[in-house]
Amino acid sequence: MIRSVLVANRGEIARRVFRTCRDLGIRTVAVYSDADAEAPFVREADVAVHLPGNSAAETYLRGDLVLAAAKSAGADAIHPGYGFLSENADFARSVGEAGLTWIGPTPESIEAMGSKIRAKELMAAANVPILEVDPATATARDFPLLVKASAGGGGRGMRVVEKPADLERELAVARSEAESAFGDGTVFVEPYLPTARHVEVQVMADTHGTIWILGDRDCSIQRRHQKVVEEAPAPNLSDATREALHTAARNAAKAVDYVGAGTVEFLVASVPDGSEGGGSEQRPFFLEMNTRLQVEHPVTEQVFGVDLVAAQLTVAEGGALGEAPVGPTGHSVEVRLYAEDAADDWSPQTGLLRTFEVPEGVRSDSAVESGSVVSHFYDPMIAKVVAHGPDRRTAIRRLDDALRRTRLHGLVTNRDLLRAVLVDDAFVAGDVHTALLPERIDVWTAPTLTGDQRERLVLAGALAQARLASTTSRVQSRIPTAFRSVTSQPRVRRFLVGDEEVAVSYTGSIRGLVSDVAEVVSAEPDRVVLAVDGVTETYDVAIGPDWVDVDGPHGSLDLVPVPLFVDPADVVAEGSLLAPMPASVMSVAVEAGQKVAKGDTIVVLEAMKMQHTIAAPADGVVTELAATAGQQVESGAVLAVIETEEQE
C-alpha cells in the first residue's frame, strides 16, 4: 500500500497529484529548486525537500537528488508528473532498485517508446502507418520537413525546415535545444503536414491485462508545435477514423506490454480516396507514444468522470482497473494560459503575477496564485483552464466567459489570443489543423478592445486613483482631488499600457468627478461605476505604488502611471540591443569594435528552455558589448550597442 508519494516535478502538475493524494489519504512530498522556494506547490505538500540550484539540470533532472530526497522524507513511491524525469527509463529503474514504487509504466516500456525513432520502428512492424524521411537523401520536393527530438516533447528540439539550404542549420539548433532540455541531442526528420490534425488517444492499463481506451482528444491548435487548446472528444472525426485510432492505440499498448497511463499521438491527414469524384478520406499516422500523464488529461477526466491520477495509483499498487468508465459524456475544452507575448513572437514573460483569480464554474489547474513569481528557468505555462458542457458549443462559451472574467495582472499573457481562438468561426465549427494558429496569428493577436472601451478602462483607473488620493490626503480631505477654482480646466492623467502612452482627462468639482468619456455614477478606490448611453458598467480597480489594475465588462488593463519627470539614468543609448526577457546568455557571437551586417547574430539567449537569437537590426559597428556567455540578464538589460552610419 502506498502511504507517501514524492512528486518529482513542480508547478501545476505537482499540485494536481497532491490533490488526489489528499483525497486518498496519502502523505505528500515536494522537491523544489531555489527559484521555486515560495511556490504554491511547495507550501501545499506535507513536507518538502530543497534541491539546490535553479536550472532543471541542477535540480528536477537530477535523479540522484530526487531519490535521496525520497529517502530522507520517508516517501515510499515516486510520481514523475510529466516532463523532466517522467520518461527516463534509467530513473524509473533506479526507483525500483531503491525499493520504492514507481507510479508509471515499466522501464522497458519507456525505453521502447522513449525513442521516437525506435517507436516508429515498432509501429511499422505492427503495420501502423508512420511518417519518415531520410535527411541524407531528401530532395527539394520532400520539403517542408519537420526536425524533431527523439527524446522529450513540448516543442523543444523541433524545427520546421522550408528549404534544403536551411536543413543543416536547423538540425544543429534542434540538437542543441534537445540536449539542453532532455540531455539527449538525437533528432530525426519526417514530412511536415501543416494542415493535418493532431489527435491523440488516452490509454490506461493494469498488470492484469486490462486496457482502457478513454476516447480521443484534438490538440491541433499549437504554437511552435506546443499545444495551446485541447478538447475531448475530437470533433468531426468519422466513425471509421475514430475506430482506427482507438484500435491502433490499443495495439501500441499491447506491443510494449504497457502498464499505467499513456497517450498515443497521431496526425490525421486528409488524403485522396482514389474515387473518380476526387474525394478524400481521413488517414491517421503514428507520431509517438507519451509514456506518462499528459498535460491535457483533464479534458478526458471530465468527459469520462474518472480521476486518472487515482487510476495510476491503483495500478502502481498492483490493483485491477475493472470495467472501463462509460463515456464520453458531453464535451470538454482546455486552454493553456502562458506568461508570454503572442504578438511579440511568443516572447516569455517573467516577474510578479500581482493577481490571478479564476471564477467558479470551471476547472483551473494552476502553477501560481496571486503574488507568485514566474521564473525564466522553466516552462511559461501558468495554468490550465478547463470547461465542460453537455455539448461542444456550451463548453466553448463557458470557457470563453471564464477567461473574460478571470482577474489576471502583472504579466503579459496569451489570454486574449485564447479568447480569439474560442470565438473563431473555424474553431467553433471544428475545422482545425496544426497550421491554423500560424494562419490566424494576425487576427488572433489584434487588439480586442475598441478605442472607447479602452478609454473607459483608463478613465476608471484614473478616477479610482484620484479618489484614493482624496481619501488619504491629510489636508482638505473633503475637497475632491483635482478641484480647482477654475473648474473648467481638466486634470490629465497619463499611463503606459504596454509600450504605449495613453491619456485621459476629467474635472473635479465640489459635486464630484466629471468626464466627457462617460457619466461618472460613482468612484471609489477599488470600484468605479460609469454609464454610457444609459448602460451602467462596473470596473474593479486595484492600486499599487507604481501600477493600477482595472477589470471591466469588456476586458482588463494594466496601467503604469507616467511620472512628470524622467530620470536621465533611465534613458539608454541609441542603438542599444536589450534583453527581451530575463534569460541566460548562451553565447556571444561578436566582439567589441567588430563590424556587423543587418541580421547577423549578436547574442543567443535561453529562457524557459527555448533559444532566442538577438540579431543586428542594421549594418554597423559593435561599440559596446555588455553580455558574456553564462551571464544571467534581466529584461531590458543592455546586451550590446551597435552604432550605424546614420548615427555617426
Dump pLDDT digits (tens) for 360-380: 999 999 999 999 999 999 999
Reported residue count of the chain is 648
- Residue 483, pLDDT score: 46
Among candidate residues 256, 286, 288, 294, the one with its CA nearest the CA of residue 269: 286
Task: Examine the pLDDT at 142 and tell me if it is beyond 90.
Answer: no
Closest CA to 480 of 453, 505, 458, 509: 509
Question: Nearest to residue 292, comparing CAs of 98, 8, 75, 36?
Answer: 8
- Per DSSP (E only), the strands in 249-345 are 260-272, 280-290, 331-338, 340-341
For 74, 127, 196, 249, 291, the CA distances from 284, given in Å and listed in that order, are: 46, 12, 9, 11, 20
Q: Are 418 and 403 in contact (CB under 8 A)?
A: yes
Per the prediction, the chain carries an average pLDDT of 90
Show the cell assigned to 307: 480521476
Tell me what pLDDT residue 144 has. 87
Higher-scoring residue by pLDDT: 519, 156: 519
Phi, psi (rounded to 5 degrees) for 646 = -65, -30
Which residue, 381, 368, 299, is CA-closest to 337? 381
What are the pLDDT digits (tens) for 215-272? 999 999 999 889 999 999 999 999 999 999 999 999 999 999 999 999 999 999 987 6
pLDDT attached to residue 14: 98
Q: Which helix (H) or strand (E) holds 299?
A: helix 297-304
The per-type count for the chain, helices as H runs and strands as E runs, is 15, 38
pLDDT tens column, 388-442: 999 999 999 999 999 999 999 999 999 999 999 999 999 999 999 999 999 999 9
- pLDDT level of residue 115 (50, 70, 90 thresholds): confident
What's the angle, vertex CA 323, arms to CA 209 and CA 260, rounded to 5? 45
pLDDT in tens, 477-486: 455 545 444 5
- Mean pLDDT lowest for which of 112-121, 468-477, 532-541? 468-477
Q: What is the pLDDT of residues 167-214, one digit of tens each?
A: 999 999 999 888 887 788 888 888 888 789 999 999 999 999 999 999
3-class secondary structure, 423: helix
Rounded to whole angstroms, what are the CA distances from 594 to 310, 377, 590, 621, 645? 60, 31, 7, 6, 14
Q: What is the pTM of this model?
A: 0.83
- Among the residue ranges 49-58, 511-520, 551-560, the one predicted with the least confidence is 511-520
Going by C-alpha positions, the residue among 408, 537, 539, 534 that lies closest to residue 467 is: 539
Strands 4-7 and 77-79: parallel
Model pLDDT, residue 485: 47
Listed range (109-123, 129-143, 621-635) with the worst mean pLDDT? 129-143
With bands split at pLDDT 50, 70 and 90, how would you rate the model's confidence at 140?
A: confident
Q: Where are the alpha helices (DSSP H) in 510-611?
A: none
Query: Minimal CA–CA distance to 618: which of 573, 588, 578, 575?
Result: 575
* Of 259, 229, 587, residue with least CA distance to 424: 229
Is 450's pLDDT higher than 80?
A: yes
Q: Kindly state the DSSP code that residue 569 receives in the 8-state scheme.
A: G
CA-CA distance, 561 to 580, in Å (whole number)? Answer: 22
**Are the C-beta atoms of residues 580 and 568 closer than 8 Å to each other?**
no
Chain position carrying cell 540538437: 175
pLDDT score, position 570: 53
User: Which grid coordinates are listed for 394?
Assistant: 456550451
Please write down the HEC assignment for all residues of 386-399. EEEECCHHHHHHHH
Task: Please indicate whether residue 400 or residue 273 has the higher confidence score (pLDDT).
Answer: 400
Compute the distance between CA of residue 633 and CA of residue 116 in angstroms, rounded to an integer.
35
- At residue 152 the predicted structure's pLDDT band, cuts being 50, 70 and 90, is low
Has residue 60 got a pLDDT over 50?
yes
When pLDDT is cut at 50, 70 and 90, the band that residue 609 belongs to is: low
- Residue 229: phi, psi to the nearest 5? -130, 135
Strand extents, DSSP E, 297-420 = 331-338, 340-341, 347-348, 351-353, 355-357, 363-366, 372-374, 381-389, 407-409
pLDDT higher than threshold 70 for residue 308: yes
The structural domains of the chain, ordered by start, are 4-103 (3.40.50.20), 115-125+193-329 (3.30.470.20), 132-191 (3.30.1490.20), 331-448 (3.30.470.20), 451-561 (3.30.700.40), 568-647 (2.40.50.100)
Average pLDDT of 616-627? 89
How remote is the C-alpha of 166 from its chain's centroid?
28
Q: Which long-range contacts (C-beta less than 8 Å, at least 24 apart) are formed by 319-322?
A: 319/206, 320/206, 320/208, 320/210, 321/204, 321/205, 321/206, 321/208, 321/210, 321/212, 322/210
Residues 123-141 have a mean pLDDT of 79
